[in-house]
A and B are shown apart, each in its own frame.
Chain A
Amino acid sequence: MVHQVLFIVFGLICVAGAVNLLVQRHPINSALSLVVVMGALALIYLLLGAEFVAAVQVIVYAGAVMVLFVFVIMLLNAGAEEQSRGSHVALWLGGPGVALLAGLIVYLMVRNQRQFNAVSIGNLADVDKGSNTNAVANLLFQKFLLPFEITSVLILIAIMGAVVLARRES
């Protein structure tokens, strides 16, 4: 009962933030509503027992990546967007397409509802040794060591690329 109420509250905040991102004209308002979506998602991750992922979502995604977005919007001084429309194809095909996709996914989920058991607050996997963080760390550095190393190389390449691309020609 408490779980359902919490999930509905956070879920509504998520959807409201996403709709606000769509509806707002100024990009800074869209950026801040995306931060709200990420915060509400972090709370939903806590409901699902993924406490380390929730903390990383707040620290990295909402607290660093979105700050980068807000910085760029502030630096480029982007005003409210104009209502220019290049081609209407995106609107006429895309709108019904997205509605169809959403409807299809919802229908499939509701039809297969019996195969998906209920989720209870915080229960989790394999937490025989210590907390969720310990378990995730064990998995990350033993089974997923190669992807970990490759992503660190990826971040290095991204840093170099960003510095080179954003530099002024001098």
Chain B
Amino acid sequence: MVPLSWYLILSAILFCLGVSAFLLKRNIITIFMAIELMLNGVNLTFVAFANHWHKLSGQVFVFFVMVVAAAEAAVGLAIIIAVFRTRETLNVDRVNLLKL
């Protein structure tokens, strides 16, 4: 038997690793992937609690989180492509002025 807190601790570790990757990395796409990692950690919490309280609403909410993450990934990557076309760089430190 695995205590529920183990699942929650794993989810917290994934979330915190996502936050650190978000703060430490300099490539826009990698920062975006760190956001996806955070969302995955939160999904794990939802599913773990759905199992714990025997309510399936947690799993349905995971479904919605995935859909929103997919929509956000599509639009975000389109923005990154548009930024790359003008700035020719993916380094987030060089995209710091509104003027080209």
Query: Measuring CB to CB, which residues of chain A are less than 8 angstroms from any residue of chain B?
Result: 3-4, 7, 11, 14-15, 18-19, 21-22, 27, 30-31, 34, 37-38, 41, 44-45, 47-50, 52-53, 56-57, 60-61, 64-66, 68-69, 72-73, 75-76, 78, 81-86, 90-91, 94-95, 98-99, 101-102, 105-106, 109-110, 112-113, 116-120, 123-126, 132, 135-136, 139-140, 143-144, 147, 151, 154-155, 157-159, 161-166, 168
Contacts and interface: CB of A to CB of B under 8 A. Distances in A.
B88 to A, nearest CB: 10
Contact of A69 (B1, B32, B44, B72): B32
A75 B14 CA distance: 28
Given A82-B91, A119-B7, 6 more contacts: A37-B14, A38-B40, A73-B29, A81-B26, A116-B8, A135-B56
Contacts of B71: 154-155, 157-158
Interface residues of B, number: 72
Interface of B: 1-10, 12-14, 16-21, 23-27, 29-30, 32-34, 36-37, 40, 43-44, 47-48, 50-52, 54-57, 59-60, 62-64, 66-75, 77-82, 84-85, 90-94, 96
B58 to A, nearest CB: 8
Q: Of residues A57, A112, A159, which shows the largest number of chain B Cβ atoms within 10 Å of its Cβ?
A: A57
A126 B54 contact: yes
Contact of A65 (B12, B14, B19, B36): B36
Given A48-B47, A119-B4, A123-B51, A37 B40 contact: yes
A43 B74 CA distance: 25
A64 to B, nearest CB: 7
For chain B, what secondary structure do more than half of its interface residues adopt (helix, strand, loop), or is it mixed? Answer: helix
A109 to B, nearest CB: 4
B10 A11 contact: yes
B70 A7 contact: no
A70 to B, nearest CB: 10
B82 A165 contact: yes
Contacts of A18: 13-14, 17-18, 21, 37
Contacts of A116: 3-5, 8, 52
Nearest to B10: A11
A15 B41 CA distance: 11
B81 A76 contact: yes
A44 B44 contact: yes
A69 B79 contact: no
